[in-house]
Structure 1
Amino acid sequence: MTAGHSHDSDQAHGRVHDHDHSACVAGALARAEASCGERGARLTPLRRRVLEGLADSHVPLGAYELVERLGSSGDKPPPMSVYRALDFLVSEGLAHRIESRNAYIACGRDHAGDDVIVFLICEGCGLTDEVASHAIGRDLAWATRAAGFTPRTPVIEIAGTCAKCRAAQAAEPARAAAPVPAR
């Protein structure tokens, strides 16, 4: 985790991660620097801050949430500048737009040509995991070619319940059914 950032969005959703969270931020920045270097694109200070803000959270963030988050650790950037930074990050494959949430999340991996990006979005805590499926991508590529269609973004969003929220839900009836000690 970088200085000035917190897990507030994750904690607000009742989520604490069981991994080295600073590695998420460092990995996203390293990928961005390498990708921008290869393509001759500029990772400006604001683009870097926006990417850090996204990578510091495992829940999708809206542009205005990012403005507030970035403002808490320094100068508050104008919303239009954040939107331009988000457009850049998405176009460079460094972030994804979660359409169903009108929000963004840092990209966690490099994608092969036929891969379909699948987002598993927890309706309880907001945790969003990114997975890729070559098999689904291959089948969809075949289907879209057969239909004469060229997809722009091969993304599937699946809403459901993550393992931790499912475990918490299962524990809730047990707590409610437990006898109350007499006083």
Structure 2
Amino acid sequence: MADGAARQKALAEAEAACLRRGAQLTPLRRQVLELVLEAEAPVGAYALLDRLKASRPGAAPPTVYRALDFLLEHGLIHKVERLNAYIGCSDTGHGHAHEHDHPHQFLICRRCGATLEIADAAVTHAIEAAAARAGFVIAEATVEVEGVCARCAAA
């Protein structure tokens, strides 16, 4: 999320969402969220730690992981498992929490690493229907699709 105004709006929505849930977006959590949001692509915990150390020299891995756990729990970010990295949730202001109550899938570019979160309910329904036919109860589902983004394909 490169746009500063959009990032500030997302931070304000995140703070409001936390307040609605009785949680606190502490300055550290807010800073980690801002670092995730300003990244051009999904960002790993140690890259976040390196950026965080610029303003918090004593920051250590547990500091970042605790903040990331909170942000994940409150639906403010997602973990892109394939990349072992984090991306801001494109649906932060809608009140979902830990289980990410909106459908989400990720399109990951193999060339540039750009990752786009999409929320296609049809994909979610297809997975749920297939699971039901197999007698499987879904606890959590994240779809990660690798390919080439439009910008790389055009280049």
Please report the TM-score for the alignment, with normalisation by the length of structure 2: 0.85
- Count of matched residue positions in the alignment of Structure 1 and Structure 2: 149
Structure 2 residue 104 is matched with structure 1 residue 117 = yes
**Residues 144 and 151 of structure 1 are in contact (CA less than 8 Å); yes or no, is this contact kept in structure 2?**
yes
Structure 2 residue 146 is matched with structure 1 residue 159 = yes
SS where residue 116 of structure 1 aligns?
coil
Call closer, same or farther: CA 1:159–1:89 in 2, change over 3 Å: same
Q: How far did residue 152 of structure 1 move? A: 3.2
Aligned to 1:78: 60
Q: How far did residue 53 of structure 1 move? A: 0.3
Aligned to 1:23: 5
Counterpart AA for 1:45 = P
Percent pairwise identity: 46
Call closer, same or farther: CA 1:150–1:44 in 2, change over 3 Å: farther
**Residues 24 and 55 of structure 1 are in contact (CA less than 8 Å); yes or no, is this contact kept in structure 2?**
no
Q: How far did residue 118 of structure 1 move? A: 1.0
State which drifts further: 125-134 or 145-154. Answer: 145-154
Correspondences of 1:68-107 after superposition (within 5 Å): 68-72=50-54, 74-76=55-57, 77-107=59-89
d(CA) in 2 for partners of 1:132, 1:150 = 21
Q: How far did residue 147 of structure 1 move? A: 3.7
SS where residue 97 of structure 1 aligns?
strand
Provide, for residues 121-140 of structure 1, a one-character-per-residue CA deviation record: whole Å limited to 9, x for no partner.
11111111111011111222
Task: Please tell me the root mean square deviation across aligned C-alpha atoms, in Å.
Answer: 2.1
SS where residue 59 of structure 1 aligns?
coil
Aligned to 1:144: 131
| Structure 2: 5+ residue stretches without partners | none
Counterpart AA for 2:107 = L
State which drifts further: 114-123 or 139-148. Answer: 139-148
d(CA) in 2 for partners of 1:80, 1:127 = 27
**Residues 58 and 105 of structure 1 are in contact (CA less than 8 Å); yes or no, is this contact kept in structure 2?**
no
Counterpart AA for 1:140 = I
Structure 2 residue 36 is matched with structure 1 residue 58 = no
Call closer, same or farther: CA 1:129–1:39 in 2, change over 3 Å: same
Q: How far did residue 109 of structure 1 move? A: 1.2
Q: How far did residue 150 of structure 1 move? A: 3.3
Provide, for residues 87-140 of structure 1, a one-character-per-residue CA deviation record: whole Å limited to 9, x for no partner.
111111100001001111111115788743111111111111111011111222
